Amino acid sequence: MATIVFKYRKSSTTYSRTFAVSSVRGYDEPDEVEFLPPIQQVALDGTIIEEMQGFRRVITVGFGVLQEAADRAFVFNFLANNERWITMSPMGTVVLALADPTAFANQWQNGHKLERNYDVQLRETILQTAWPDYADPVEIETLYIKTDVQITGTPESPQTLTTNTAPLATDDTGQAYPAISLTTHAVSLLIAEKQDCVVYRTSDISQSGNNITFQVAHANAGNAYSDGNFYAALTIGLQEK
CB 33 within 8 A of CB 52: no
Question: Burial of 29 by CB count in 10 Å (0-12 exposed, 13-18 middle, 19+ buried)?
Answer: exposed
Least confident of 67-71, 116-120, 184-188: 184-188
Task: Give backbone dihedrals phi and psi of 35, rounded to 5 degrees, phi first.
Answer: -90, 135
Read off the pLDDT of each residue in 107-125 and give the average, rounded to a whole number.
Answer: 91
User: Looking at domain 2-124, which of 2.40.30, 1.10.600, 2.60.120, 1.10.760 is its CATH number?
Assistant: 2.40.30
Is residue 36 predicted with pLDDT exceeding 80? yes
The reported pTM is: 0.54
What distance in Å separates the CA atoms of residue 82 and residue 70, rounded to the nearest whole number? Answer: 20
Asked whether the predicted pLDDT for residue 89 surpasses 90, the reply is no
- How far is Cα 161 from Cα 225, in angstroms, rounded to an integer? 20
Which alpha helices (DSSP H) does 25-178 contain, by range?
Answer: 69-80
Q: Do residues 78 and 21 make contact, with C-beta atoms less than 8 angstroms apart?
A: no
**C-alpha 144, offset from chain centre:** 21
Q: What share of the chain is helix, strand, coil (3-state, %, to 5)?
A: 5, 45, 45
Give CA–CA dist 207/82, Å, rounded: 57
Please report, rounded to a whole number, the percentage of residues in the chain having pLDDT higher than 90: 61
How many CA atoms lie within 13 Å of 103's alpha carbon, on the beta-carbon side?
A: 2
Residue 90, pLDDT above cutoff 60: yes
Q: E-strand spans in 136-210?
A: 142-150, 159-162, 185-193, 199-201, 206-208
Q: What percent of the chain has pLDDT over 70?
A: 96
User: What is the predicted pLDDT for the residue at 77?
Assistant: 95
| pLDDT tens-digit series, residues 190-224 | 888 888 888 889 898 999 999 999 999 999 888 99
Residue 136 has pLDDT above 70, yes or no: no
Cα 155 to Cα 42, 139, 151, 193, 217, distances in angstroms: 82, 35, 12, 16, 6
* Chain centre distance of CA 95: 20
Residue 18 CB neighbour total at 10 angstroms: 11
pLDDT per position as a tens digit, 125-134? 888 888 876 6
What does the domain layout of the chain look like in residue ranges?
2-124, 142-240
